[in-house]
């Protein structure tokens, strides 16, 4: 079982997606990542910088709309906290809807008039609107993949008969919505490639609807499934039905569905006693012999229980490991389970389990923990593909089943490689590679010989030879050394005046390796600096690095970020008035902390899909998943450290804050949009006059992407143009 979701898809805060791809595994990578590198954008002609222009920054910005206060007071263990905008939590109330309309009108009246807008939009269009293709999955000699033409708004699902055959369209999402906000993805493919399950997703919501199709006839099965948050849909070998898992109102449940019967009659086969604070994932191994099930204890990656069911004889659901406080991911090949785990190995190890003798006393470590953290595992060609992160850059290695190194996989340069995607009984596999200014390339890799060839390359109008990247190390407040990637055009003059884009994440064990971004390219083409520090809370250096940035140690993440900004200033890359910061989701929390703790350090901020009221976050949507990472104000011991940094409670009357653009939307069903609504209203009411506080609120936007490409260009134009405006830069055309 393997995930068919795109690399860097960012759903990790909420769920694990399990789908059958080219190897028999359950990939429990909590999909964060759709927002950690949210939208870095920008554009400009070859090195052309405008001078600081305070008058331009002021630009006669009208006052923000006045928002009614209701001042609800809560008592947290004797500490009384007043919330002036509690009423804005009600997303559906007519008053909130009217308020959103006023805020959008205010924001649009400003952003639509900014200089350089059309030049910026033109370059972003050229960078975004290119032919793109997803990682292929081979089953039964057929190759399944997504593909989007440069002129199309959404990717479509295709099949290719043989490696060099013609591409046949399977699913076109464009007719599904008039505004092209519906998107599709593969959820599962039968072992012989004769059937597919695909999901239809509306806007950026995490919820989707499964559909089932006969590949030969393109006929859809009549079985109707509910719109929900699914964490596994997979075919049996007989293709007479599917096992599937989704979040019910009572918690995650795994069901069995026989095709042709009513979904409402499907029996629960697992998870009946699992609460909504946990995640359950399911998937069937490539050979069809086993149903694999996982219980994930929240999104902090600290505990996973693993179960299996022998489908050949309708065996009982059997625990493989459910008594260890550690994370596990599982794959199966040739009657062995292979486990990646941090149990007694903070940087992870890989264990082999004979299914006939699955007791822990019989487990065998085949790839031991090393100095470099293991990030992922896959089975391909009877071998084990292992991905590592060395100083926040990818390494790929291939081992035999005894743990002997077969070979290293040669990568083009420092950057980000996906896990090798393949099948246990085939030597053919694929992986993708990219870096900040190197567009994604998909390689076909032969596990037997090590030969690799380009399967698909995204032909973006960008010359990587114009750019340079280095990794620097700086000291945080407590002396800890933190790495940071710094990229820009070659020959950049370090005069302390370069517009600089600083973005980070710092949480949930998520890595930020160098990965391609059209908006980052556009920013650097302007002569700007693009900087990404690897803060504590991420997974770049194993469990200790993650734990050093969670719960009561969350302040370390913020301090690491401030130290990165100070290093860039001290080393003459930029200055405060030329320093823009951006972050989304957990990175949005980072932006909120930066604005309220160090408003003196930054010139402009984009805060996207953020968590900001940390005293109440756990009450909304799926945020109970994140309590193991952040803690909860409902806990007397945890309340003090959360209250100390919670951005919404740290806004001060009359403080001089940098300009802030909050970005969110109704379809964010992961991080409740109320955070951005309340914070925008509070800062507009309390901030000193001068710098604009804006809210860009899309009634169809959400956390999980899905926006049509034209909308992505428009949104990125707004966000980058806002930053350029505040940094005193007018975007110029790029030839």
Please name the residues in contact with 359: beta carbons below 8 A apart, sequence gap of 6 or more. none
In contact, 196 and 189? CB cutoff 8 Å: yes
Q: Band of the pLDDT at 690, cuts 50, 70, 90?
A: confident
Is 633 among the catalytic positions?
Answer: no
Is the pLDDT higher at 46 or at 386? 386
Mean pLDDT of 602-629: 97
Q: Is 261 exposed, middle or buried (0-12, 13-18, 19+ CB in 10 A)?
A: exposed
pLDDT digits (tens, 9 = 90+) for 229-255: 999 999 999 999 999 999 999 999 999
* Confidence at residue 19, expressed as pLDDT on a 0 to 100 scale: 29
For residue 143, give the H/E element and its range.
strand 142-148
Q: 73: part of which helix (H) or strand (E)?
A: strand 72-76
Q: Are strands 529-533 and 500-503 parallel, antiparallel or unpaired?
A: parallel
Residue 257's CB: how many other CB atoms inside 10 A? Answer: 21
Q: Which of 594-598, 646-650, 704-708 has the lowest mean pLDDT?
A: 704-708
What confidence category does residue 4 fall into, taking pLDDT thresholds of 50, 70 and 90?
Answer: very low
Which residue among the candidates 327, 517, 703, 704 is catalytic per the annotation? 703
Is 132 annotated as catalytic?
no
CB atoms within 10 A of CB 372: 16
pLDDT band at 689 (very low <50, low <70, confident <90, very high): confident
State the pLDDT at residue 203. 85
CA 212/CA 207 separation, integer angstroms:
17
For the residues of 524-581, what is the DSSP string, one character each? HHTT-EEEEE--BTBSTT-HHHHHTTSGGGTHHHHHHHHHHHHHHHHTTS--GGGEEE
Lowest mean pLDDT among 132-136, 172-176, 704-708: 704-708
- Token pair of 312 as six digits: 């050949």
Over 60: is that where the pLDDT of 6 sits? no
pLDDT tier, 21 (very low <50, low <70, confident <90, very high otherwise): very low
- Sketch out the chain's domains with CATH numbers: 25-31+131-457 (2.130.10.120), 54-62+116-126+466-726 (3.40.50.1820)
* Residue-wise pLDDT tens digits, 478-505: 999 999 999 999 999 999 999 999 999 9
pLDDT band at 59; cut points 50, 70, 90 = low
Closest-CA residue to 701 (of 685, 689, 712): 712
CA distance 69 to 206: 32
Burial of 214 (0-12, 13-18, 19+ CB in 10 A): middle
Kindly name the residue from 585, 632, 633, 646 that is annotated as catalytic: 585
Whether the per-residue pLDDT at 36 is higher than 60: the answer is: no
Six-digit token string for 596: 């309220």
Return the percent helix, strand and coil in the chain, to nearest 5.
Answer: 20, 35, 45
Task: Give the count of beta carbons closer than 10 Å to the beta carbon of residue 202.
Answer: 19
> Which pLDDT value is given to residue 713?
96
Average pLDDT over residues 605-613: 98
pLDDT of residue 699: 80
pLDDT reported for residue 221: 98
Give the pLDDT confidence score for residue 192 in this predicted structure. 95
User: Mean pLDDT across the stretch 647-653?
Assistant: 97
CB distance 480 to 547 below 8 Å: no
């Amino acid at each position: 079982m393997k995930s068919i979701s795109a690399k860097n898809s960012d759903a990790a805060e909420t769920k694990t997606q399990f789908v059958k791809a080219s190897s028999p595994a359950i990939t429990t990578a909590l999909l964060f990542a759709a927002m950690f590198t949210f939208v870095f954008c920008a554009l400009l002609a070859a090195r052309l910088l405008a001078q600081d222009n305070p008058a331009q920054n002021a630009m006669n910005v009208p006052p923000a709309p006045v928002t009614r206060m209701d001042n609800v007071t809560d008592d947290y263990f004797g500490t009384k906290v007043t919330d002036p905008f509690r009423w804005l939590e009600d997303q559906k109330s007519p008053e909130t809807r009217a308020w959103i309309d006023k805020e959008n009108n205010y924001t649009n009246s400003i952003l639509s008039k900014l200089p350089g807008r059309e030049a910026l939009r033109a370059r972003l269009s050229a960078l975004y609107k290119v032919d793109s293709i997803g990682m292929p999955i081979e089953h039964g000699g057929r190759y399944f993949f997504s593909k989007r033409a440069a002129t199309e708004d959404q990717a479509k699902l295709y099949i290719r008969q043989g490696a060099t055959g013609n591409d046949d369209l399977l699913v076109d999402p464009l007719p599904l919505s008039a505004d092209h906000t519906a998107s599709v993805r593969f959820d599962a493919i039968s072992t012989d490639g004769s059937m597919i399950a695909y999901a239809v997703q509306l806007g950026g919501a995490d919820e989707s609807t499964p559909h089932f199709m006969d590949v030969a006839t393109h006929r859809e099965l009549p079985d109707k499934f509910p719109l929900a948050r699914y964490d596994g849909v997979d075919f049996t070998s007989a293709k007479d039905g599917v096992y599937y898992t989704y979040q019910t109102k009572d918690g995650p449940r795994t069901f069995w569905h026989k095709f042709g019967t009513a979904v409402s009659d499907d029996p629960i086969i697992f998870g009946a006693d699992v609460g909504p604070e946990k995640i359950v994932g399911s998937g069937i191994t490539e050979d069809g012999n086993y149903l694999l099930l996982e219980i994930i204890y929240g999104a902090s990656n600290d505990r996973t229980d693993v179960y299996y069911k022998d489908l050949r004889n309708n065996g009982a659901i059997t625990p493989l490991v459910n008594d260890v406080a550690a994370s596990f991911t599982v794959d199966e090949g040739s009657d062995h389970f292979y486990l990646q785990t941090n149990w007694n190995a903070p940087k992870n190890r890989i264990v082999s389990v004979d299914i006939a003798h699955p007791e822990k006393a019989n487990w065998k470590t085949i790839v031991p923990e090393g100095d470099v953290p293991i990030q992922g595992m896959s089975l391909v060609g009877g071998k084990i593909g292992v991905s590592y992160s060395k100083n926040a850059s990818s390494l790929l290695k291939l081992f035999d089943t005894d743990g002997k190194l077969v070979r290293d996989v040669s990568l083009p340069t420092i950057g980000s490689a996906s896990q090798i995607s393949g099948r246990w009984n085939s030597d053919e596999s694929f992986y993708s590679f990219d870096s900040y200014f190197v567009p994604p390339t998909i390689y076909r890799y032969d596990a037997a010989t090590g030969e690799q060839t380009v399967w698909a390359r995204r032909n973006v109008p960008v010359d990587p030879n114009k750019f340079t990247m280095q990794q620097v190390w700086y000291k945080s407040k407590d002396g800890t050394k933190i790495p940071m990637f710094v990229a820009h055009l070659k020959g950049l003059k370090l005069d302390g005046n370069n517009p600089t884009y600083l973005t980070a994440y710092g949480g949930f064990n998520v890595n930020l390796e160098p990965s391609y971004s059209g908006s980052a390219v556009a920013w650097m083409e302007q002569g700007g600096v693009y900087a990404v520090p690897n803060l504590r809370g991420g997974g770049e250096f194993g469990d200790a690095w993650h734990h050093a940035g969670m719960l009561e140690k969350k302040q370390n993440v913020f301090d690491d970020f401030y130290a990165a900004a100070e290093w860039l200033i001290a080393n003459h890359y930029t200055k405060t008035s030329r320093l823009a910061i951006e972050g989304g989701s957990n990175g949005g929390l980072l932006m909120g902390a930066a604005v309220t703790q160090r408003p003196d350090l930054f010139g402009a901020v984009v805060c996207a899909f953020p968590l900001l009221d940390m005293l109440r976050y756990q009450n909304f949507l799926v945020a109970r998943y994140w309590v193991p990472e952040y803690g909860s104000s409902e806990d007397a011991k945890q309340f003090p450290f959360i209250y100390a940094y919670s951005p919404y409670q740290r806004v001060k009357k009359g403080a001089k804050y940098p300009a802030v653009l909050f970005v969110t939307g109704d379809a964010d069903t992961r991080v409740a949009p109320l955070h951005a609504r309340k914070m925008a209203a509070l800062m507009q009411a309390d901030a000193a006059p001068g710098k604009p506080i804006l809210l860009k609120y899309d009634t169809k936007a959400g956390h999980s992407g899905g926006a049509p490409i034209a909308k992505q260009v428009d949104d990125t134009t707004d966000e980058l143009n806002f930053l350029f405006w505040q940094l005193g830069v007018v975007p110029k055309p790029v030839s």
